Each structure stands twice: as structure tokens, then as C-alpha cells.
Structure 1
């Protein structure tokens, strides 16, 4: 059954200031730790509802604490074909959640971060609102149209996942794009900026990652 509720998945990447993402956490209906992402939840003195992964990045003490609190643990063998994040993400989707915030999925190991970003291009995720969030920015995929909510001066970068992204049209950005084509091997979409509290990006064909960096 689909739900309009929000799930947060803590991922084992970099997160320099956990307090800045607390509002995302406090507004969520389901909190999930993907293995070592549990450390970010514990830094906020939060025990998630669910722990998913092979548990190679959590201590026996943390696992015991989870069990004693009656929280659910879904453990997988170390030899698997998916990352802990992918396993946690698709479990949450099976529960019916359509808005999912991935915290701590940026930074840290470069290969893991790139894998996390590319995971968004899975066709099975079309129609879902999935965002990678840390204390500095949010990243999400645009398949047709999206809205960015922030404040003037916030940086917005558009990086193609497909070889080309055609028919790109934006509003409320400092450097507007009007029915333009972005190429994966070019840097045309890097470092634009919002000049209003709401900007829109619309594309006709392709996949593009939107990086929204918060202006301090």
C-alpha cells in the first residue's frame, strides 16, 4: 500500500553537522539505519525503528541496544550483490513509502557516493521523491519536472546522467535555460543560482541530477 508519509534512511557516509539535518528527521514517519548509518542517528540521540544490512559496521553493543529496545533488525550476509543502502531503500519502498530522505549518502568513499547517486537512475524509482541530504546540500533526480525550494543565492547545479538531456527549461535561476540541451561530458549546468525562493526545472528527455546547495 502506498503512503504519503516520509521515511528517512541513515547512510554510512560523511555528515559533518548532524544537528542541521534534525528537522528532516523529526518530520519523518519512519527512521531506518542502513548498517553503519546508525552512527548518524545515535549522534542525534535517536534510535531508528529499523536496522538493515550485513551489520559489519555496527558494534555488538549497538546491536544489543537495538534488540533490547524491541526494534526490528533485518540482517543480510556479507556476500551480497547490493549495498546496505540499496537493500534498505527497496525495503522501505516495499512498505509503501514514496518520499524517502537519504541522510549521509554523500561524502566519504568516492565509489560509494557515486553508486548512491547512480542508484537514483533505477527505473523502478520513477515516480518516487528520493533525496540525498546532508548538512550542506540536497541532491535528487529530475525525470520530467521538479521544483527547488530555498532562498536567493542558493546554488543549483544540473548534471546529466544520460548522454544528453534535451529541452531543459528553468525559471527563477540567475542563468536561465530555455529549451536547451545539456551534455554529460560538458559542464554547462554547473553553478547556477536561485534568484527567488522557488525555482523550477523542466526537461523533455533524459535524466539529470539536481544539486541544491544551501546558501549560508
Structure 2
């Protein structure tokens, strides 16, 4: 039986906690990368696991987590990996293969770029891994990807690290048909969904998809 989806809360900016809360499903397992646990606590929930050096977790939140018996894996402050990558590693070791990562966009540019680059790890590329803050989701297209949303949502596509071949889309205002995209091109920024589901197909390469919702999940 496949493991439940893991929702990992990073210690990043979360502009709309209510919209982020709507992403959660009853069967989800909640993990936190260090002070990402604070986002979970503010939602009235508890993480199943907290991973990191715990240097940015407020003392009040740390005490609550300990009092509630939350499992914590503490790493040294002098470490080679970010707290988010350490949390992903823990989830992979426990057999999880579906990931939603929250609060990993916005804030520090270096951390945002690092979080995006994490998704290109070879052991993650064939898994269902997305970054989402409730209003905007980011993922890499693998073969064929379906994006659910609403007409008027914004879809932007970026060739990541080199050209992407045979890009074909449907359900968008400006469709592509077997196109080649270069990493420096901007013609695939700010496209619009025409229907409730857009489909994106590629032949080869890494294609970053940014889906900006016009309203939070569950709201038409």
C-alpha cells in the first residue's frame, strides 16, 4: 500500500495561511523543516516530524512540540544541507513518494532558488513533488502534466538549465505545438488557462511550470 502524501512546511514566507490550509487533505502526513513547524501550529495542527537544527524555532513553539510528544530529528547547526533537504531525505527514507512543500516560495531569493533546484534531484524527478503556498504552485513537467484550476489562472513555463524539446499545451489561451523552448525565452510567461484543466507535454528537458491561481483552492 503506498504511503500517504507528505506535506512539508518549510521555514519560508507564507502570505496566505488560510489559502495554504485549504491545500491539506485529511490523510496527509505533516512534516516540518525547522521553524516550518510554527506555520503548522498556527493552523491549530501538529506535525508528525520536525527536522533541522532547530535554531530558528521559537522557544514557545519548541516547548509545545516537546510537550505534545512530536518526534524531532535535530541536526548540528554547522551542516551541509538545508533543513528542507534534510526533511525531504527523512521522508524518502521512510518510504514516502508524494510531496507537497509549503512556504518554500518568496522571502529570500537564494532560498527560493535553492528550493526550486531541489526539485531537480534525480531521485525526485520521477516523483510527485510540488511547491505550493495556496495561491501559487510550482512543479517540473514530467512527460505529460495536468494542471487543475480555473479559467483565468496564469500559467508560466520556463526552460530550466537548457532547451526543452517538443513542448505541446492544451487548455491555454496561447497554445504551443511541438515547440522548442530555450532558457532565455520569455514568450511562455503569463499564459492563461481557458478551461478548468490545462495539459502540458514535453519530449525532453526540464520545464518549470508556475501556476498562479486567481482564487485559493476550493473557491471558484
TM-score, normalised via structure 1 length: 0.95
**Most deviating of 127-136 and 26-35:** 26-35
* Aligned mates of 2:27, 2:36 — CA distance in 1: 16
Report the counterpart of residue 202 of structure 1 in structure 2.
201
- Structure 1 runs not aligned, ≥5 long: none
* Aligned mates of 1:63, 1:23 — CA distance in 2: 25
Cα deviations by residue, 1:82-120 (Å, 9 ceiling, x for unpaired): 100000012112212221110100001010001001111
RMSD over aligned Cα, in angstroms?
Answer: 1.3
Query: Retained in 2: the 8 A contact 1:13–1:106?
Result: yes
- Structure 2 runs not aligned, ≥5 long: 216-220
Query: Retained in 2: the 8 A contact 1:7–1:28?
Result: no
Shift of 1:135: 2.9
Report the counterpart of residue 193 of structure 1 in structure 2.
192
Alignment of 1:94-109 (within 5 A): 94-109=93-108
Query: Retained in 2: the 8 A contact 1:8–1:28?
Result: no
Shift of 1:4: 4.7
Query: Retained in 1: the 8 A contact 2:167–2:200?
Result: yes
Deviation beyond 6 Å, 4+ runs, structure 1: none
* Aligned mates of 2:144, 2:210 — CA distance in 1: 15
Alignment of 1:1-216 (within 5 A): 3-216=2-215
* Aligned mates of 1:39, 1:29 — CA distance in 2: 18
**Most deviating of 62-71 and 103-112:** 62-71
Shift of 1:28: 4.3
Q: Which has the higher strand share?
A: 1
Report the counterpart of residue 218 of structure 2 in structure 1.
none
Measured at CA, do residues 144 and 93 of structure 1 come closer, stay the same or move farther in structure 2, by a change above 3 Å? same
Shift of 1:25: 2.5
Shift of 1:45: 1.5
State the number of aligned residues.
215
Measured at CA, do residues 28 and 101 of structure 1 come closer, stay the same or move farther in structure 2, by a change above 3 Å? farther
Q: Which has the higher helix share?
A: 1
* Aligned mates of 1:62, 1:39 — CA distance in 2: 7
